[in-house]
Amino acid sequence: MVWAVVATVVVGLAMRFLTGSHLWLDEALTVNISKLPLSRIPDALRRDGSPPLYYLALHFWMTAFGSGDVAVRALSAIFAIGALPLAWLAGVRVGGRRVAAAALVLLAASPFAIRFATEARMYSLLTLLTLAGYLFLRRFLDRPSAGAGVGVAAATGLLMLTHYWSFYLLVTVGLMLVVRAYRNRDRAAVLALAAMAGGCVLFVPWLPVFTYQLAHTGTPWANLPTFAAVIETVRSWDGGGSDAGQVLNLAVLVLAFLAVFGAAVDGRRVELDLRTRPGVRQLAIASLGTLLVGLVAAVALRSAYVVRYTSVAFPLFIIVVAFGTLVFADNRVRIGVLAFCVVLGFCAGVPNTGSRRTQAGAVAHTLNRSAVPGDVVAYCPDQLGPSVSRLVSAPVTQLTFPRAAPPQFVNWVNYASINHAAATAPFAQMLDQRAAGHTVWLVWSPGYKTFGSKCSTLIDRLEVLRPQMKRVVKVSPKYEERVGLIRYATR
């Protein structure tokens, strides 16, 4: 058994560093912001809409290790690796060494965890901090101490400074502590609430930026969610839409159900109690409660509900699933079920090693090979700018629609209203004039919210001005971030 756990962890560690894709929009934009001098990062984040902790960590990481694709993603891999021993400790707390081993291998083989360990974003840090916060809180409730209280406070503040979806987890946990304090007259629960409130002090210096973001940025690129988003979240936690992921999803849901409602009778029978059983009931409520609070908030605030944001609730769900393996009293069955889930998890995670995240590489390769000084490269929408421009080495002028700004950043301030008001004709004429005697290149993609058909209209307007048009790189549906390239030769 020990060798199997070790082998699973080793494979999981390796897969946390393996991906052949270039950085996509969010990653490239994150790197560009983190590259700025420390004094300029808060102002850049005012226009971006994120809290600062991960960006500051990545800034110092890049100072030491560089800003290449592998280097910047390695920080997320380190955070993801740090979460593994915390999952083991959480499993020990919940159900002893058998649950600890199950939690460790399930997290190591999780395609969701593998994906975000290979992405230069804050999601694996969220997972790490959630597990740390759970361990500190559990210890504090069992035996209150100053050290555990400081841990609860620190985890609270750091979560808030990592991603705003942490608020939904903290609200859910806070309500659970209020109920516990009221029902049980539990002084430890009251003190835990005080520790969480104390941790919020860490967020106070960021409040001016947060209030500005709340009024001016948001998530204009997202549609309002429905309850189906919660179902899609759990499916994505278990591998997504691949064949292996679909089977894994079914197995994990069964284990989660048995964790809450089931108990072993003997080696062949499991008893169900629809009133639920103690053990991981509170973890299940915290995990799924966070999703529901996030859904309600997304609808009320007209903000995004995106699966990757739920990294703050995901590790709690993994502990619930791990506890579900205890319903199998026969050790051979329990190990067999775990092995089945691990194999499916790795199979569902294999596509992550490919290059399907963005088509930016193909577009940049063509520009580097064919563009010459004096050429103008335009981006419509501007969201394509960070991932493509990062790879462009040709000495060309690069501008984004509609603000005619450099492509390294996306300004999300009043984004929807500015895009709705933007006109394509003046922009096309400006590009034609800027590239007088040279080629205009248009990096484009359809279907981006708030742009409507404006990028397609821009294509047509440029063709009127420059009839010698050729689609050099076609938008391909096999990529997550689809990017095309059109060349408009000079007349």
User: What is this structure's pTM?
Assistant: 0.95
Ranges of H-type helices in 238-359? 243-261, 281-301, 314-324, 331-349
Examine the fold and report which residue of 353, 378, 404 is the final residue of a domain before the chain moves on. 353
Higher pLDDT, 276 or 305: 305
pLDDT at 317 over 80: yes
Higher pLDDT, 342 or 330: 342
**Is the domain of 41 the same as that of 57?**
yes
pLDDT at 40 over 90: yes
Ranges of H-type helices in 67-206? 69-95, 97-108, 111-117, 123-142, 146-160, 166-184, 187-199
**Is the domain of 396 the same as that of 422?**
yes
pLDDT at 218 over 90: no
Q: Cα angle at 181 between 176 and 187, to 5 degrees?
A: 130
**Is the domain of 76 the same as that of 206?**
yes
**Is the domain of 99 the same as that of 248?**
yes
**Is the domain of 329 the same as that of 412?**
no
Least confident of 69-73, 228-232, 428-432: 228-232
pLDDT at 230 over 90: no
**Is the domain of 233 the same as that of 95?**
yes
**DSSP state for residue 353 in the 8-state scheme:** G
Examine the fold and report which residue of 353, 381, 408 is the final residue of a domain before the chain moves on. 353
**Is the domain of 332 the same as that of 371?**
no
**Is the domain of 335 the same as that of 439?**
no
pLDDT of residue 354: 82
Examine the fold and report which residue of 324, 353, 382 is the final residue of a domain before the chain moves on. 353
Residue partners of 105: CB distance under 8 A and separation at least 6: 4, 5, 8, 9, 12, 338, 342
Least confident of 59-73, 296-310, 406-420, 461-475: 296-310
What single-letter amino acid sits at 488?
A: Y
CA distance 440 to 396: 10
Computed over every residue of the chain, the mean pLDDT equals 93
**Is the domain of 476 the same as that of 346?**
no
**Residue 339 belongs to domain spanning:** 2-353
Nearest to 363 by CA among 4, 19, 28: 28
Q: Count of domains in the chain? A: 2
Long-range contacts, stretch 94-98, CB < 8 angstroms, 24+ apart: 94/279, 94/280, 94/283, 94/319, 94/322, 94/323, 95/279, 95/280, 95/322, 95/323, 95/326, 98/325, 98/326, 98/334
**Is the domain of 341 the same as that of 371?**
no
List 264's β-bridge partners, or say none.
Answer: 270
pLDDT in tens, 414-429: 999 999 999 999 999 9
Nearest to 119 by CA among 48, 238, 241, 27: 27
**Is the domain of 269 the same as that of 373?**
no
Residue partners of 308: CB distance under 8 A and separation at least 6: 116, 121, 123
What's the whole-number mean pLDDT along residues 257-277?
Answer: 80
**Is the domain of 329 the same as that of 395?**
no
